[in-house]
Amino acid sequence: MQLLYIAGMASTELRSLAGELSRSWHELGGVLSSRRLLASLHTGAASALTPTKLRALDVLAEESVRVGELADRVGVDDTTATRLVDRLVASGLVERRDLPGDRRVSVVGLTAMGVELVGQVATRRQRFFCDVLTALEPHERMELVRLTAKAADALRTRSEELMAR
């Protein structure tokens, strides 16, 4: 009987914490995707990019991918990803390339201008997050980064499970 009470109490506490986490992450997501913040962080060519375009460039900075893979990793449908790539090609930041060994398949990759822009954006983001981290004690900084990575992994895993249904 006592075990059921403890499990029920833990479940209530877990739901409460989940609600707080949801609110905090929603607020954090709103702040980080705010056009005003992006405009102040990203000057020049980057200031005209939407959060989705910036995410696509981040993905392409890791590796060249097919449009369908880009769609999955950015979180948009294939048609939207195709239009996104068309716009990024038109801006000179990405290019379509034939896949070596299979001429039927093309991949999307960054151009030299895209690589330079992604590097500038990464530098500005790093400065921004360094400023944010200074608000924490040194041990809190490491813990925040560790827990954020762990939570992101759990979110990714759970999201993939839900989408596979």
DSSP summary character for residue 136: S
pTM of the predicted structure, to 2 decimals: 0.76
- Check whether 4 has a pLDDT greater than 90: no
Q: Considering its fold, how many domains does the chain have in total?
A: 2
Do residue 67 and residue 111 come from a single domain?
Answer: yes
Give a yes or no: residue 125 inside a domain: yes
Place of tokens 């880009």: 70
Q: In terms of domains, do 28 and 99 share one?
A: no
In a domain, 154, yes or no: no
Let me know whether 68 and 24 are in one domain.
no
pLDDT computed for residue 15 by the predictor:
87
Q: Examine the domain organization and report whether 63 and 127 are in the same domain.
A: yes
What's the rounded mean pLDDT across residues 113-121? 93
122 with 91, same domain: the answer is: yes
In this structure, what CATH number is given to the domain that contains residue 75?
1.10.10.10
Q: Are residues 46 and 28 part of one domain?
A: no
β-sheet bridge partners, residue 95? 109
Residues 6+ apart with CB under 8 A from 1: none
> Tokens representing 77?
């449908």
Mean pLDDT of the chain: 87
Do residue 9 and residue 88 come from a single domain? no
How many other C-beta atoms lie within 10 A of the C-beta of residue 73? Answer: 16
Check whether 17 has a pLDDT greater than 90.
no
Note whether 69 and 81 are within 8 A (CB): no
Owning domain of residue 17: 1-32
Same structural domain for residues 59 and 127? yes
> Position of tokens 């981290």?
133
Stated as kind and residue range, the H or E segment containing 99 is: strand 94-99
Residue 4 lies in a domain: yes
Q: Tokens 């999955």 identify what position?
A: 72
